[in-house]
């Protein structure tokens, strides 16, 4: 499908035109939801405007930027004070997470490198593991056995 650019008056493939979101009229005003000017003409127009308005975006952001007040909060996990401008921030940083049993265990093993991790967990979960496997075997009797 081809379309004529209204700026450069060239007949171009429809892929060289940007899509208009939510607008598509077939009566000729907007052809199948595409802009009237090709992508290269739009880019040229924007480039010329930016060159003729240097510093516009810098001024705009200075004018419209909302400065949030800095709040001093206390982290519920480590108890340290921290500064933030975010209302919803609870912890002092991403690594300061609530202490779950798994995190407590990892920290303990990190502080005691003399403890062999595999032996520690094997002894701890040996009984539970044995009970689980026995229950599983009783529940699934005959399953997995090849019948000849």
- pLDDT per residue as tens digits for the range 37-81: 999 999 999 999 999 999 998 888 888 877 778 889 988 877 888
Task: Name the more confident of 90 and 25.
Answer: 90
Read off the pLDDT of each residue in 3-18 and give the average, rounded to a whole number. 94
Asked if the model's pLDDT at residue 144 lies above 70, the reply is: no
The single-letter DSSP state of residue 16 is G
Residues 6+ apart with CB under 8 A from 20: 30, 33, 34, 35
- Model confidence, pTM: 0.40
Q: Which two tokens stand for residue 112?
A: 């005691």
Q: What is the pLDDT of residue 42?
A: 96
In sequence order, what are the residues at sequence separation of 6 or more whose Cβ sits closer than 8 angstroms to the Cβ of residue 90? 73, 75, 76
Strand partners, 19: 34
Report the pLDDT value the prediction gives residue 131, as an integer from 0 to 100.
Answer: 79
């Amino acid at each position: 499908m081809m379309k004529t650019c209204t700026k450069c008056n060239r007949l171009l493939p429809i892929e060289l035109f940007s899509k208009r979101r939510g607008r598509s009229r077939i009566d000729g005003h907007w052809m199948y939801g595409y802009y009237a000017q090709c992508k290269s003409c739009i880019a040229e127009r924007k480039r010329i405007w930016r060159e003729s308005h240097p510093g516009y975006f810098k001024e705009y952001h200075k004018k419209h930027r909302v400065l949030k007040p800095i709040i001093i909060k206390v982290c519920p996990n480590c108890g340290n004070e921290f500064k933030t401008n975010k209302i919803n921030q609870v912890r002092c940083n991403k690594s300061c997470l609530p202490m779950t049993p798994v995190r407590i265990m990892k920290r303990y093993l990190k502080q005691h490198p003399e403890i062999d991790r595999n032996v520690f967990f094997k002894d701890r979960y040996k009984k539970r593991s044995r009970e689980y496997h026995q229950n599983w075997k009783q529940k699934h009797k005959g399953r997995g056995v090849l019948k000849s």
